[in-house]
Structure 1
Amino acid sequence: MGNLIRDARRQRQLTQTELASALGTSQSAVARIEQGKQNLSLETLARISEALDSEIVTTVTSNAPVNLRIEGGRKLSGEIDVRTSKNAAVACLCAALLNKGRTTLRDLARIEEVNRITEVLNSIGVKTRWLPDSSDLEITPPERIDLDAMDEGAARRTRTILMFLGPLLHEFEEFKLPNAGGCDLGSRTVEPHLHALRSFGLNVVASHGYYHATVDADRHPDKPIILTERGDTVTENALFAAAKYPGTTVIRNASPNYMVQDLCFFLQKLGVTIEGIGTTTLTVTGVAEIDQDVEYYPSEDPIEAMSLLAAAVVTESEITIRRVPIEFMEIELTLLADMGMKYELSEEYTSNNGHTRLVNLRTIPGPLKAPKDKIHPMPFPGLNIDNLPFFAAIAAVAEGQTTLHDWVYENRAIYLTELTPLGVKVQLMDPHRVLIEGPTRWRPAEVMCPPALRPAMVVLLAMLAAPGESVLRNIYVISRGYEELDSRLNALGANIQTFRD
């Protein structure tokens, strides 16, 4: 900003003293402004723009980021349903590319991540439409996919584009995809994906912003595929490849996580035989052609369930969270119980997918103490990697010091330092570990949303706890994973308003 002002002043052939006189300030103040060492209000910028006859700041409301204004320190109460899973939704959307018939995904999360994928699908010829007065998405494939027409802008904004590799190797001998985007979580190599898919003849070279893929259609697995990383999307890509191979494929070191299980249940509806669902060894017998009209209900999102649970903890509130996928929350709840949290669970019932076990969970406010050991994620059935950041907000209200070890991602632990303006004592020990000391004396603050979904949500939760008015700017990353979050939390008693600058 200082450079812009300096250049505009020079273009008008004014000295710093002359500009200072026009602004009613000192030459030294103008010097500080141009060096970037002076805070500037919008009013001051407007006066500078007028003095220099130059538009230093322009407001473009149509494309301006959405922000949140949060009045914190309010108790929550009432009941709230967990929505269906973001990650299961994107897996099933990609799997729909395998089906020549019509796929209807019921009660889908209407989030930005789904919007980006549907934009990509629409651009390559797939017809998608939301059925009237519902959250049901109907997907109808074309006779031939037109990859040359792909909306690259949408594709580069989501890492999900990597999950097109498995379905497309059945359709093309050669194709290219834009480099993947999504959350900024450090260097995340795609090599585990390529290792898994080489057995199906896929070879990929990354250059000039694209993945260039060639497929040897005569090559098929002749021995079990051993995944080098027990990753969710890596396992899903291997399942896409195996689903239309008419032989039997054994996938070892597979992720048994919630979204992988949902994908397996969906593929079974397409006629694919899968044994070992929920374990690290999957035996898949595919079918050469899939052409049938199917409908499927993705199950509820354990990460959203954890988000809502953390909201209750940091605001010291009693709420009932309905439709919690308990199988994927048991470790988290056990850790919280060890920290002193009390809660009640209902009897189990079944999700609309016919498989996932659900409960209703009532939170009971009470003091927490820091755990004796560090908290770290593990592959399912361990603590979910995406649930780890929420323990930062929970640790902030617990008595004592809590160490979080996010060993998977290089950057994500760093984003938790964004809690500092809100009063949280956060010590970054290294790129993977943070030390949090509670309880926190909360204070309101204005914070730019971190570029990663779960840390961004943690900052929002902290703002719910901090008495006073906080502002969270540019919440697109939160909209990638949460649907109508502000109105749903407001229904519990929060006060969250959206606005654009």
Structure 2
Amino acid sequence: MTDDYLVRVGTLIRDARRHRKLTQTELAEALQTSQSAVARIEQGKQNLSLETLARISEALDSEIVAVASSTPLNLRIEGGRKLSGEIDVRTSKNAAVACLCASLLNKGKTTLRNLARIEEVNRITEVLNSIGVKTRWLPDSSDLEITPPERIDLDAMDETAARRTRTILMFLGPLLHEFDEFKLPNAGGCDLGSRTVEPHLHALQAFGLGVVASHGYYEANVDSSVRPRKPIILTERGDTVTENALFAAARYEGETIIRNASPNYMVQDLCFMLQKFGVEIEGIGSTTLTVRGVKDINMDVEYFPSEDPIEAMTLVAAAVVTESEITIKRIPIEFMEIELTLLESMGMKYEMSEEYVSANGQTRLVDLRTIPGPLIAPKDKIHPMPFPGLNIDNLPFFAVIAAVAEGSTTLHDWVYENRAIYLTELTSLGAKVQLMDPHRVLIEGPTRWRAAEVMSPPALRPAVVVLLTMLAAPGVSVLRNIYVIDRGYEELDSRLNKLGANIQTFRDI
């Protein structure tokens, strides 16, 4: 490393240490080195290996030193291997996002248990930390402790982190309780085409929120005299729209009725968490929610987000495409029933355990053993619907499943105008995928897979579909720049390796 680079890295490490309120001695103890060595590192007078930087990053619970490795992370995959063994479904990315945003409603300490340690969570915690919220991972766990400041400092927001996630839009609901006026950076995230914020604004105007999009920001004004006078009818049965409406209703002391609400898994998790805050909610799991909020929430609360049905579908697809027998444990069955029924109609066989309950005390779980066998294409097109229909985020996995089935399958992704296009990347690996229009693809199977080198699509689920396809393709494939996968999955490569896959990470020098 050059001297200038060492100084810049040292400054970043010093700032991260101070943010965590650690002394140089405390950091030295965590690194099993001396205080003088930490001082030299922070002054830019110590050469640093990538291993040392990784240890520092872990000790500080911060990705800030990842700038030392500016080249993208890639995967090298030896395909054509059978998988076997057992694997647990981790907790939900989207539930984690909702619960993190909900913590802004609470003046007390919120502890989220067994939280997914993924890039999306890192982005949100970076934003929360920058505005004064203290977050820390409890030792030897995936439990995140969140402590709010007396006053949120929006002027100090880390805009770079905020613009890298659409989650920032979900700050509107919590913040309207705190400020008469505020602004948030325009949101980012997956490249799935334009997604309007209008449904959010329509829902929140009942609580006096007005928003103007201008010069890269959402500029918000709040009229606290405005309160819901009639049921709020959501113009879109969207998950995040429903969550924003719930954030607004949670600290309104009156009754709020939300109609055309999403009853999807992350919304249910949010409702269960808000109940822990003392908010009364009726109709959980339906499209009509009746909410009786509380003016102030100030309590120490812990909550266990439930398991992720999208990760569960990912693992099912991995078993199907590699023709493997694996046991997938802790599947949230309520949110997978349509997908499994469709797979049954295509000829898939599996065995399922009796139901048991997730740590949140609500979500129904099962264990499922996949049984390899031939599949046939469905007679009708496959398309998503709001819950309890086939989940929009599970639709891309049917592309790789359709590619191993006998016959023609049409996928209709009517929500996103770009995502279907990314599925054409499977042609590089031997699949016959015809783009019919920006929303529809025709897939002919079965496929004779071949290894290839592919740049990761910029959308999370299509990127994982390419990864799963590479597991099936004999030979060595390369998937480049997998950041988008790390946004939504925790250690997916190493967990698949425990089932018998051969996936190696590397960076270009």
Category of TM-score, reference length = shorter chain: 0.7 to 0.9
1:61 CA drift (Å): 6.9
- 1:77 maps onto 2:120 in alignment: no
Q: Deviations over 1:409-462 (max 9, x none)?
A: 000000000111000000000000000001001000000000000000000000
Contact 1:61–1:500 at 8 Å: present in 2 too? no
The one of 281, 284, 290 equivalent to 1:277 is: 284
Instruction: Give the equivalent residue in structure 2 for 1:63.
Output: 70
- 1:363 maps onto 2:370 in alignment: yes
CA distance in 2, matches of 1:228, 1:65: 39
Does the residue aligned with 1:249 lie in a helix, a strand or coil? strand
CA distance in 1, matches of 2:448, 2:357: 41
- 1:307 maps onto 2:298 in alignment: no
The AA in structure 1 aligned to 2:462 is P
1:227 CA drift (Å): 0.1
Q: Deviations over 1:26-73 (max 9, x none)?
A: xxxxxxxxxxxxxxxxxxxxxxxxxxxxxxxxxx97111100000000
Instruction: Give the equivalent residue in structure 2 for 1:235.
Output: 242
Q: Deviations over 1:287-325 (max 9, x none)?
A: 000000000000000000000000000000000000000
Instruction: Give the equivalent residue in structure 2 for 1:40.
Output: none
CA distance in 1, matches of 2:390, 2:428: 28
CA RMSD after TM alignment:
0.6
Q: Gapped runs of 5+ residues in structure 2?
A: 1-66
The AA in structure 2 aligned to 1:173 is D
Instruction: Give the equivalent residue in structure 2 for 1:377.
Output: 384
The AA in structure 2 aligned to 1:492 is L
- 1:331 maps onto 2:331 in alignment: no
Runs of 4+ more than 3 Å apart: none
Instruction: Give the equivalent residue in structure 2 for 1:185.
Output: 192
Alignment: residue pair count? 442
Which residues in structure 2 correspond to 1:353-432 (within 5 Å)?
353-432=360-439
CA distance in 2, matches of 1:113, 1:61: 20
CA distance in 2, matches of 1:61, 1:228: 45
Instruction: Give the equivalent residue in structure 2 for 1:93.
Output: 100
Instruction: Give the equivalent residue in structure 1 for 2:253.
Output: 246
CA distance in 1, matches of 2:417, 2:194: 7
Instruction: Give the equivalent residue in structure 2 for 1:489.
Output: 496
1:187 CA drift (Å): 1.0
CA distance in 2, matches of 1:120, 1:383: 32
The AA in structure 2 aligned to 1:160 is T
CA distance in 2, matches of 1:238, 1:298: 20
CA distance in 1, matches of 2:486, 2:152: 29
The AA in structure 2 aligned to 1:206 is A
CA distance in 2, matches of 1:500, 1:175: 40
Instruction: Give the equivalent residue in structure 1 for 2:4.
Output: none
CA distance in 2, matches of 1:234, 1:193: 5
The one of 107, 113, 126 equivalent to 1:106 is: 113
Q: Deviations over 1:187-209 (max 9, x none)?
A: 10000000000000000000100
CA distance in 1, matches of 2:136, 2:332: 28
Instruction: Give the equivalent residue in structure 2 for 1:289.
Output: 296
Q: Gapped runs of 5+ residues in structure 1?
A: 1-59
The one of 145, 151, 167 equivalent to 1:160 is: 167
Using structure 1 for the length normalisation, give the TM-score: 0.88
- 1:469 maps onto 2:476 in alignment: yes
Does the residue aligned with 2:377 lie in a helix, a strand or coil? coil
CA distance in 1, matches of 2:143, 2:275: 20
Instruction: Give the equivalent residue in structure 2 for 1:199.
Output: 206
Q: Deviations over 1:200-259 (max 9, x none)?
A: 000000010000000001100000000000000000000000000000000000000000
CA distance in 2, matches of 1:61, 1:335: 46
Using structure 2 for the length normalisation, give the TM-score: 0.87
The AA in structure 1 aligned to 2:382 is I
The one of 198, 217, 239 equivalent to 2:224 is: 217
The AA in structure 2 aligned to 1:319 is I
The AA in structure 2 aligned to 1:434 is V
CA distance in 2, matches of 1:441, 1:347: 37
The AA in structure 2 aligned to 1:277 is I
The AA in structure 2 aligned to 1:123 is S
Does the residue aligned with 2:207 lie in a helix, a strand or coil? coil
- 1:255 maps onto 2:262 in alignment: yes
- 1:144 maps onto 2:115 in alignment: no
Give the share of equivalent positions with the same residue, in percent: 87
The AA in structure 1 aligned to 2:311 is E
CA distance in 1, matches of 2:345, 2:114: 35
1:484 CA drift (Å): 0.5
1:329 CA drift (Å): 0.2
CA distance in 2, matches of 1:119, 1:197: 25
Q: Deviations over 1:311-350 (max 9, x none)?
A: 0000000000000000000000000000000001000000
CA distance in 1, matches of 2:96, 2:69: 29
Does the residue aligned with 2:139 lie in a helix, a strand or coil? coil
1:185 CA drift (Å): 0.5
The AA in structure 1 aligned to 2:213 is A
Q: Deviations over 1:6-34 (max 9, x none)?
A: xxxxxxxxxxxxxxxxxxxxxxxxxxxxx
Q: Deviations over 1:136-161 (max 9, x none)?
A: 00000000000000000000000000
